[in-house]
Amino acid sequence: MKLILSKKIPYNRLKADALVVPLFKGEKESVYALPVSVKKIVAAVIASKEFQGGAMETQLVHTGGNGVSRVCLLGLGEKKECSLDIVQRAYGTAIMRLKKAKAKSVVLLVREDAVSGEAGPGSAGKDKAVADIVGAIATGVRIANYHTHEYKSKKKELHSIAKCILLVPSTIDRTIKSALTRAETIVDGLDFVRSISNSPANYATPQYVAESAKELAKKTPGLTVTVFDKKQIEKEKMGGLLAVAQGSQHEPRFVICEYKGHPCNDDKGAPCRPIVLVGKGITFDTGGISLKPWKGMEEMKFDMAGGAAVMATVAIAAKLKLPMHVVGLVPLAENMPSHTAYKPGDVITISDGTTVEILSTDAEGRMVLADGLCYAKKYKPSVVVDVATLTGAIVAALSDYASGLFTDDDAIALTLERLGKETGDRVWRMPMPKEWADHLKSPVADLRQVPSARLADATMAALFLKNFSDAKTPWVHIDNAGTAWKTEGYSYAEAGATGAPVQLLVAWLEDLGKKEVK
């Protein structure tokens, strides 16, 4: 999709398949100077009460005109409740509606008063607010325009929208242009995550994903990618990763993505320590010997979505030239049952020497992350964040509304919660009572991988991972099992992988970058 910013186009010369007119609930006409014929259509639809302006509500009307053949009324809901997240989802909903109508070119009226006051991470003033609204619209329409038909032998007509013109009533300044560029960069990253996560596991093996990371580096100045093969993984004594992978014919990989920007200096003039992201990369999860039920198992190809999100986030940081040093670590493996698979009752040694008793081979994510978190310590990071589609328990608790957030750092938690609301990549802070850690004690090893009674499993997984973080370094665990995948399509995107929480991570890095520059 080609996105074009435009300040004014005479309506009598406007050529497009559809014009999107945004309205708040209760508004009887558009605030923009539309042609009389279009105004009459809008007024007639509103008077009929077929369209009332609710958030994500759409109404498509044929105009019969030669310039714009259809008008799509788009609801933004109550004005006082409108946010960047609603703007993003609403405009995405309009694009989904117009894709179904086989539109190829669309004109979008940018509602500059959609979000009053400050809008977006670190924004200030009207100009920045308008820029953030443009960015949200661009993000929404690109997310909605995504499609995947790569593995169909008979290619269907994709019905993608080829061109979107964003009509901005006020001046299109550098800030607004930068917001559009930022949005396109982020959605390119989301497309990377969605494409890999949607790919069948017989294609997207650990080797394939590792090679995809290398290809991403070739296209991204400033991004370097290093891949450890099985021999190097053995040399690092990554027992958790090796154990999970040993049941599969596909050997494991360990991917290191690194971007060295222009980091700040601390009070003593030394460069600030890097930010390390660790992502779970299970390319397919059968549950291993602790085999999952067959129903829904086909979706387990997205169990590497956390790892893909980490790769994409580091690449986006490089493209945006953020003032920081960011490292992404992704352990990749396929969890399969076979005569060589690891088993319940086995004792596995993690790379830091910790021994772990296995109770369920279906709790493989925490095993590979343990090695990833141990390796993160080598960088002496300022903060570590791991992202993983880790537990069904977090899906039961939060569904697809938010990712689970686990951390002892209140300041980081508050920032991520705020940015989650702004970006739509919501997180919900979950408890980590220290006394629950006793449930992970093992009679035969240092730790049990899961407690004997699997209660509060999302929290217990976080408490397990905490053992492999540095007590002196802030650590955050994000369980995105419920947000990384949508079994059914929704109004502003198709079913499948979502790319969450890339938007949140990028906004957080930007927030940190502003503090570092200061």
Pick the catalytic residue: 39, 214, 292, 486? 292
pLDDT at 122: 38
Give percent of the chain with pLDDT exceeding 70. Answer: 94
Model pLDDT for residues 384-398, shown as the tens digit of each residue: 999 999 999 999 999
How many angstroms separate the CA atoms of 458 and 321, rounded? 35
How many angstroms separate the CA atoms of 393 and 404, rounded? 10
pLDDT over threshold 90, residue 223: yes
Would you place residue 123 in the very low, low, confident or very high pLDDT band (cuts 50, 70, 90)?
very low
Domains, the chain, ranges and CATH? 2-172 (3.40.220.10), 186-517 (3.40.630.10)
How many angstroms separate the CA atoms of 75 and 55, rounded? 5
Span 161-165, average pLDDT = 95
What's the gap between Cα 40 and its chain centre? 41
pLDDT at 424: 95
Phi first, then psi: what are they for 134, rounded to 5°?
Answer: -60, -40
pLDDT over threshold 80, residue 13: no
DSSP structure string for 140-172: HHHHHH----TT-SSPPP-----EEEEE-SS--
Closest by alpha carbon to 10, among 33, 31, 29?
33
Rg for the chain (alpha carbons), in Å? 24
pLDDT at 319: 98
Model pLDDT for residues 478-507, shown as the tens digit of each residue: 999 999 999 998 899 999 999 999 999 999
How many angstroms separate the CA atoms of 39 and 254, rounded? 58
Asked whether the beta carbons of 301 and 284 are under 8 A apart, the reply is: yes
Reading the block at residue 91, the tokens are: 């405009």
Beta pairing class for 275-279 and 383-388: parallel
* Residues 6 or more apart in contact with residue 171 via CB below 8 angstroms: 7
With 0-12 / 13-18 / 19 or more C-beta atoms within 10 angstroms meaning exposed / middle / buried, residue 339 is exposed
pLDDT at 270: 66
pLDDT at 170: 82
Strand partners, 333: 282
pLDDT over threshold 90, residue 463: yes
**Any idea which residue has 């003593």 for tokens?**
268
pLDDT over threshold 80, residue 14: no
Span 98-125, average pLDDT = 76
How many angstroms separate the CA atoms of 169 and 302, rounded? 41
The per-residue pLDDT of the chain, averaged, comes to: 92
Least confident interval from 50-64, 122-136, 172-186, 304-318: 122-136
Span 77-86, average pLDDT = 95
Give percent of the chain with pLDDT exceeding 90. Answer: 82
Beta pairing class for 447-448 and 355-357: parallel
How many angstroms separate the CA atoms of 174 and 179, rounded? 9
Q: Which amino acid is at 67?
A: G
Q: What distances in angstroms separate CA 132 from CA 2, 126, 175, 292, 423, one per listed residue?
A: 19, 10, 9, 43, 11
Model pLDDT for residues 339-357, shown as the tens digit of each residue: 999 999 999 999 999 999 9
The dihedral over CA atoms of 269, 473, 367, 217, expressed in degrees to the nearest 10, equals: -30
Pick the catalytic residue: 366, 426, 448, 466? 366
pLDDT at 518: 45
Model pLDDT for residues 269-299, shown as the tens digit of each residue: 667 899 999 999 999 999 999 999 999 999 9
pLDDT over threshold 60, residue 429: yes
pLDDT at 268: 65
Closest by alpha carbon to 289, among 242, 358, 341?
341
Whether 515 is catalytic is no
**Any idea which residue has 């299109």 for tokens?**
172
pLDDT at 440: 96
Whether 292 is catalytic is yes
pLDDT at 35: 78
pLDDT over threshold 50, residue 320: yes
pLDDT at 350: 98
Would you place residue 41 in the very low, low, confident or very high pLDDT band (cuts 50, 70, 90)?
confident
Would you place residue 264 in the very low, low, confident or very high pLDDT band (cuts 50, 70, 90)?
low
Would you place residue 267 in the very low, low, confident or very high pLDDT band (cuts 50, 70, 90)?
low
